[in-house]
Structure formats: C-alpha cells, structure tokens
C-alpha cells in the first residue's frame, strides 16, 4: 500500500496536468494513486469541496492521503474539510508545499514506500529547491 496524493487547484486543467506530470516523473517506482480536484462543477475556476472529498477517498489505500493545494480558497477549503469530522479519509494531511514541485516530490517519495509523514515532509521540502 502507498500514500495517496490529491492535487487541489482552482483550475481543473492545472490540477490534471500536474497530476499527469507527477505520475510521469515517478521514475518507475510503485504506482502511487494520484487524483486531481480542480475547478468548479460547471467547469469554471474555483474549488469544490465535493470534488476534493471524492478525490481524497479515491486515492485512500489506508496509508494516508497527502493533499497539495495551489492557493487561497483551495487551501481554505481543504482546511475546512480537515476540521470537519469524517469528511476526508483518516490520516489526510495538507502539505504546505509549492504546487508543482511539491506534487512531484510527494509522488516520488510515496512511490519509494515512504509513510505519510515522509511524503508530506518531502513535499514541504520542495520550497528549498532553488533555481538560482
């Protein structure tokens, strides 16, 4: 079993694209369940609690779920869901991580069989990847 990863963005296209990229950069490790939860039900920009909940449940394999959100209301919506009892799977955690780099780090770390703490830590450590 592996930790699942959920990517929450204001844009369905962004969430799906980053999920596709992170899974593609997995490096041949174990298959990590990754789900995108982006946009509103009508296809617009925004976040939707039901999409986030469904995505988290779809990737839960009993080892925990790491959630990475892009900004603003995506973060707030995940925090509200985490505060509500029995909405998200047990052991769901929001990582304070950059969206793209954190997603890749989380998926690669989960594919190595790491536990939830290590997956979240790897995503958060992605803030330190400097480009200069």
Inform me whether the pLDDT recorded for 26 exceeds 60: yes
Report the interhelical angle of 12-24 vs 99-111 (nearest 10°). Answer: 40
Confidence of residue 23 (pLDDT cuts 50, 70, 90): confident
Side by side, which strands form the sheet with 65-69?
34-38, 4-9, 65-69, 92-95
Query: Domains (ranges, CATH) in the chain?
Result: 4-128 (3.40.50.510)
Question: What's the mean per-residue pLDDT of the chain?
Answer: 93
pTM of the model: 0.94
List the helix and strand counts (H, then E) for the chain.
Answer: 5, 4
Q: What is the pLDDT of residue 55?
A: 97
Inform me whether the pLDDT recorded for 20 exceeds 80: yes
Confidence of residue 127 (pLDDT cuts 50, 70, 90): confident
């Amino acid at each position: 079993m592996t930790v699942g990863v959920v990517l929450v963005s204001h844009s369905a296209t962004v969430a799906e694209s980053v999920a596709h990229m992170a899974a593609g950069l997995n490096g041949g490790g174990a298959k990590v369940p990754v789900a995108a939860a982006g946009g509103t039900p009508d296809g617009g920009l925004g976040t939707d609690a039901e999409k986030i909940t469904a995505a988290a449940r779809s990737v839960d394999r009993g080892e925990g779920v790491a959630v990475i959100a892009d900004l603003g209301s995506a973060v707030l919506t995940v925090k509200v869901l985490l505060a509500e009892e029995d909405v998200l799977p047990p052991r769901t955690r929001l990582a304070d991580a950059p969206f793209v780099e954190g997603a890749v780090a989380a998926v690669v770390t989960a594919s190595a069989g790491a536990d939830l703490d290590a997956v979240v830590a790897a995503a958060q450590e992605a803030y330190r990847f400097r480009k200069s």
